[in-house]
Amino acid sequence: MPEIPKKSKITVIISTSVGIKAEYQGNVYEVINFIKPKRKHETKQNKLKTKYIPPDDHYFKYGHDKFKKVYFDESYEEVLSVLEEIFLSKYA
């Protein structure tokens, strides 16, 4: 039987005396019975994902300890006055 391209039009002939045949471009061919195999269903235990735990030296786990924390000594009033000078001055 020649290889039939995808989406080609064929005629399926079903008869109690002859069985199942396929006609393609004027030629009649024997067909092979095909039973689609059943998929094996995985149990939910196999599908459970394990939680990722980063190693002890991983940045995301202990990265906050590796950098020095930055603190500002100025009060909010001092910061606001500097910002007002910068953005609200006559020449801004």
Q: Is residue 33 part of a domain?
A: no
Q: Cα Rg for the chain, rounded, in angstroms? A: 38
Please report the pLDDT score of residue 74 as a whole number.
77
pLDDT at residue 11, as a whole number? 92
Residue 52 pLDDT class (50, 70, 90 cuts): confident
The pTM for the full model equals 0.36
Please compute the mean of the pLDDT values over residues 42-63 and round it to a whole number: 70
Question: Would you say residue 53 lies in a domain?
Answer: yes
Q: How high is the mean pLDDT of the chain?
A: 79
Sheet holding 11-15, edge to edge: 11-15, 19-24, 27-30
Q: Is residue 77 part of a domain?
A: yes
* pLDDT above 60: residue 92: no
State how many domains the chain has: 1
